[in-house]
Amino acid sequence: MTPDNFLGLPDEHSSYERAAVLVLPIPFEATVSYGSGTRHGPAAIIEASQQVELYDREFDREPATEYGVHTLPALELAGEPEAAVAQIAAATATAAASGKLVVGLGGEHTVSVGFGRGLLDAVGSPITVVQIDAHSDLRDEYEGTPLSHACVARRLAEFAPIVQLGIRSICQDEADYIAAHSDRVTVVFADDIHTDGGAHLMALADRVRDQRVYLTLDVDGLDPSIMPATGTPEPGGLSWAQTLDILRVVAANAEVIGCDIVELAPIPGLHAPDFIAARLAYKLINLVMQRRRRD
């Protein structure tokens, strides 16, 4: 039987001692405001990953068998956001202190507040956040809590500058915040990515070069034509190729200290989005580990 871990790896490639990558499932869902189901995202990604081919044509080999991936137990979290964020931060800091690459699987985007704080606790300042998302998530609070999924980037901006890509939905307060904090938040809208001939990639490379980066990827950054399984889909999103181009630029130019993939809300009977998220996670890991092993 296929081992029940990320990529379905046998023990020789998935034991903690052997692995250079730790996958941390974070099935938290408490502040979703439209579609629900993100608490099932981590398990769906792990299950789908067991159907992903290990061979990566870009590298002409099976990278996971070289660096190894250990899947940590899913976190058992409090239902209240503040307590859950503290738990996530502690677990992430412990995992990152090992020196291994930590990859979080959410869960709603609120998990990234704890994940980012945990990375900061483990490695210290400065770090830069790169966020792929349909939404800026820069509200100071939403529906009575500053730890809503709609406030993630605002909380992360309290300790790190942020580069956001694929954005196509903001409110007036967020637009005002972006205008007033251009030194803290850089926004690349999806419309511009579609039309700028790759200029955003050159600017991104300059922005993250030689920086320590935490990369957070909300799956609604992708267009709903390929990623419908998310709580708040927005039209006009990134293609698979555009998303990979961004990941390649970040991995090639920055030191990625951790990353997460969040907001998958599986649709029963529709496996494609789960598989896309799993494939995306594996590709991101391959790109980051290629740089780490080279350095």
**Domain CATH number, residue 37:** 3.40.800.10
Cα 185 to chain centroid, rounded: 18
pTM of this prediction exceeds 0.75:
yes
Sign of CA dihedral 276, 62, 72, 146: negative
Residue 162 falls inside a structural domain: yes
Residue 1 falls inside a structural domain: no
Q: Tell me which residue of 142, 141, 144, 119 sits closest to 129, measured CA to CA.
A: 119
Give CA separation, 148 vs 105, 136, 187, in Å: 18, 13, 20
Residue 294: predicted pLDDT: 76
Strand partners, 165: 132, 188
Residue 106 falls inside a structural domain: yes
Residue 108 falls inside a structural domain: yes
Alpha helices in 216-271 (DSSP H): 240-253
Q: Do 237 and 152 meet the contact criterion of CB atoms below 8 Å apart? A: no
Residue 66 falls inside a structural domain: yes
Give CA separation, 276 vs 7, 55, 119, 240, 283, in Å: 13, 16, 26, 9, 10
Q: Do 263 and 109 meet the contact criterion of CB atoms below 8 Å apart? A: yes
Q: From the DSSP assignment, how many helices (H) and strands (E) are in the chain?
A: 11, 8
Structural domain for 289, as ranges: 6-294
Measured CA to CA, the distance from residue 202 to residue 104 in angstroms comes to 27
Measured CA to CA, the distance from residue 165 to residue 200 in angstroms comes to 9
Residue 130 falls inside a structural domain: yes
Residue 131 falls inside a structural domain: yes
Residues 6+ apart with CB under 8 A from 234: 134, 135, 168, 169, 220, 224
First to last CA, the chain: 36
Domain count, the chain: 1
List the pLDDT tens digit at each of the 295 positions of the chain. Answer: 789 999 999 999 999 999 999 999 999 988 665 557 899 999 999 999 999 999 999 999 999 999 999 999 999 998 899 999 999 999 999 999 999 999 999 989 999 999 999 999 999 999 999 999 999 999 999 988 888 889 999 999 999 999 999 999 999 999 999 999 999 999 999 999 999 999 999 999 999 999 999 999 999 999 999 999 998 999 999 999 999 999 999 999 999 999 999 999 999 999 999 999 999 999 999 999 998 877 6
Q: Do 165 and 188 meet the contact criterion of CB atoms below 8 Å apart? A: yes
Residue 82 falls inside a structural domain: yes
Q: Quickly count: other Cβ atoms within 10 Å of residue 126's Cβ.
A: 11
Q: Do 52 and 37 meet the contact criterion of CB atoms below 8 Å apart? A: no
Peptide bond into 107 cis (omega under 30): yes
Cα 53 to chain centroid, rounded: 21
Residue 79: predicted pLDDT: 85
Long-range CB contacts (< 8 A, 24+ apart) of 242-248? 242/193, 242/194, 243/132, 243/166, 243/217, 243/280, 244/283, 245/198, 245/201, 246/130, 246/132, 246/165, 246/201, 246/204, 247/215, 247/283, 247/284, 247/287, 248/287
Residue 2: predicted pLDDT: 84
